[in-house]
Chain A
Amino acid sequence: MASDTMIPVETTTPRNTTLGKVRTHPTQNEGLIFEKSSPGKRAVRLAPLDVPEVDAEALLGDAFRVDAAPLPEVSEIEIIRHFTRLSTWNYAIDLGMYPLGSCTMKYNPRVNEFVARLEGIAEAHPYQPESLAQGSLEVVRELEQCLIEITGMDAITLQPAAGAHGEFTGILLVRAYHESRGNARRKVIVPDSAHGTNPATAAICGYEVQNLKSNSLGMVDVAELERIVDEDTAALMLTNPSTIGVFESEIHKIAEVLHAKGALLYMDGANMNALVGKARPGDFGVDVMHLNLHKTFSTPHGGGGPGSGPVACKAILEPFLPTPVLARRSDGMLGWNHDRPQSVGRVRAFYGNYGMFVRALAYILANGPDGLRQTTEDAVLNANYIRSSLEDLYELPYTTASMHEVVFSDRRQAARGVKTGDIAKRIIDYGFHPFTVSFPMIVSGALMIEPTESESKEELDLFIDAMRAIAHEAEKTPELVKNAPHSTRVSRLDEATAARKPILRWRPTAG
C-alpha cells in the first residue's frame, strides 16, 4: 500500500543542528503490538509432543477456557522491530549522564548480566535439594559477608525485594525487638526531609508517624529530637547522608539520644554510595538499615525494577530476621534454617531477588576494597565538581558540605517564571536525563543532582555547560525553557486527562 503514503518534502528543515552534545535524528514510528496483529501470523513453533495427545476440554470440564486470550499474532521480525523501536524512545545510562538525585544511576556492568545468565545460576530451582544448591548458596553467603563488612553490621537478610520492602522488613525487626521486651511502642520519628517511603512504611507497620523538622543546615535538630524522643519512640528513620546530600555530623549524638530512651536508629541506605569504604553505619550507631542493590551495587534499574533491598542489623535484632536464614551446618554444608521462633516471619516467597545478588556480588568482586573506596571518592568528587561549577548561577539553599549529591533551588530562575520542572524538561533538549525535581520537600523548587562516579570529566563538563546555558535562557528567553522539551518524540503530555479519564489498556476499535 505504498501508494497511500504521502511523504511531505520539508525543504526548510535545518539539518545537523547541534545543541551541546546532541543533534536531532529521526526515530521510527511504531503502533501498539496489538495493532500489528493479524490472524495466523506466529513467532513460535513448539517441539512435537512426545506423549499421547489429550482432550483438554474433557480433562478440564467447566474449567476449560473456551476463548483463547486475544494475544497479538505477529512474527519474530516484527517483535524484534517493535521492541527495538520502542527502546529507541528511551533515554538510558548507556546513552549518557542520568543524574537523578537519590536514585544512584550508575553504570550497570555487562559482566553482571553475563554471570547472572550462566545456566547453573539462572536455571537453579528454589526447591532443588540443598546438596545440589551449594553453589547458589555460596554466592548468597559471600554477598552477605561482603555487605555485613561494608555496613559494619552483624547480621543480614537478603529476602526483601526492593528498598521499600527492606524498610518494611527493618521496621518489623524494630517492632519485634520492642515487643520482645514487653512493649512495641507507639511512634516512629521521620525527618521532614525523608523519602516518602519512610512515613508510608512506618504507618504500614502500625506506627504513628511523628515528623521532625530539619534545622537551618538541613540536618536533624538534635535539641528538638531530644525533646520529642520518649519511651514511646520505637525508632528514628534517618537517611544519612541526608536527602540534601549532607552527612549528619552529629550522628553519634542522634544515636545516643535514641539509645538513652531505648529507641533504635534505622538508617535508610539510599545514599550508601557516599559511604562505601569510607565510613560504616554500624560504627556510627545505626542499629538497622536497608541497602538498595540497584543503587549502590550496580544492578540495573530496568525501567523501574527489579530491585533488591537487603536489611543489615546489629546482633540484638538478629533473632528477628525473616525466615529462613542461611546457616552453615556442622558438616560444612550451607542450608536454610527455618527454625527461628522469634522471626518476624517471611516477607517474600523463596529467598529474595537472587538474580540481583549475583549481579551485586560480581560488582563487588570487580572492585575490591580499593575499587569501592575509589568509587565512593569519585562519586563525591563529581557532585562537588558540579556544585562548584554551578553555584554562581543556581541558588544553594544549604551551603553545608555536599557528599554524593548536590541540591540547588530554582529561586533565581523562578523569579522569571521558570521552575525546576521546566529546567528539567529543557535539559532533555541538551541530551541529558533530568535531575530529580521538587524533592526533598524541605527545599522549595529543588533540583537534586546525583552524578554518580560513572561520569567522565568530559560528560560532567557538557552537563555543566548545558545547565549554565539554561540559566541564561531562563533570563533571556524564559518561554524557550517553559515550553521545553523541543526535541523529543512527544511534546508535554496531557497528564490531567490521563488521570481524569484513565485509559489503562488497549481495546480493539469497534467494527
Chain B
Amino acid sequence: MALPTHLHYTKEHEWIAVDGKIGTVGITDYAQSTLGDIVFVDLPKVGDSVTAHQTFGSVESVKAVSDLYSPVSGTVTAINADLATTPDKVNEDAYAAWMIKVEMANPSEQDALLTAAAYEAFIAEETGK
C-alpha cells in the first residue's frame, strides 16, 4: 500500500495531517498490520495536553498493547469517539481512522518528522533486520 504523501510520520509509527494549527493523528497501516486485530483504543480527554514523543494513549490487540506517541506538542481538541465501539476501523483503514486532533503549541515541530519516503525507508530498514 502506497503511503499517503501529504502526511508526516514518526518512527513510532504514527501519522499526522496538519491543517493550520490543528494536527490530526493516527497510526500507520504498517502499525495496524503488525499489531493484528485491534480490540481497544485508549485515548486522552479533550483538553489534555500532549507532548511530542511522549505517550498519549495506547492501542491493544488480542495479545499485545502498544503505547501511542504524539508527533507534536499541544492540546487535544477532539478525539475519535467511534473507536471506542469500533476499534476494528483502525484495521480497515488506518489513515481514515484518526485518533486525536491536537492544537499545536509549536507548529515547527512537524519539520522534524519523517516524510512518506523517509518513513518508507525506515520501515524497510526495520523489517530487513
Contacts and interface: CB of A to CB of B under 8 A. Distances in A.
A–B contact, 8 Å CB criterion (strictly below): yes
Interface of A: 495-496, 499-500
B87 interface: yes
Nearest to B60: A499
Interface of B: 36-37, 39-40, 60-63, 87-88
A496 B39 CA distance: 6
A496 B40 CA distance: 10
17 contacts: A495-B37, A495-B62, A495-B63, A496-B36, A496-B37, A496-B39, A496-B61, A496-B62, A496-B88, A499-B39, A499-B40, A499-B60, A499-B62, A500-B39, A500-B40, A500-B87, A500-B88
Given A496-B39, A496-B62, 9 more contacts: A495-B37, A495-B63, A496-B88, A499-B39, A499-B60, A499-B62, A500-B40, A500-B87, A500-B88
A458 to B, nearest CB: 35
Contacts of A499: 39-40, 60, 62
A499 B63 CA distance: 10
B91 to A, nearest CB: 9
Contacts of A500: 39-40, 87-88
Nearest to B86: A500
A88 B62 CA distance: 27
Nearest to A502: B39
A498 to B, nearest CB: 8
A422 to B, nearest CB: 15
Contacts of A495: 37, 62-63
A222 B63 CA distance: 32
B80 to A, nearest CB: 16
Contacts of B60: 499
Contacts of B37: 495-496
Contacts of B36: 496
B96 to A, nearest CB: 18
Contacts of B39: 496, 499-500
B36 to A, nearest CB: 8
List the 6 shortest-distance A-B pairs measured between CB atoms, nearest first.
Answer: A496-B37, A499-B39, A495-B62, A500-B39, A499-B62, A496-B62
A419 to B, nearest CB: 12
Contacts of B40: 499-500
A501 to B, nearest CB: 9
A496 B87 CA distance: 10
Contacts of B62: 495-496, 499
A499 B59 CA distance: 13
B66 to A, nearest CB: 15
B81 to A, nearest CB: 15
A500 B40 CA distance: 7
A495 B37 CA distance: 9
A499 B36 CA distance: 13
A495 B40 CA distance: 13
Nearest to A500: B39
A438 to B, nearest CB: 8
A420 to B, nearest CB: 13
B56 to A, nearest CB: 21
Residue of B36, B39, B40 ringed by the most chain A CB atoms within 10 A? B39
Contacts of A496: 36-37, 39, 61-62, 88
Nearest to A496: B37
Nearest to A495: B62
A453 to B, nearest CB: 31
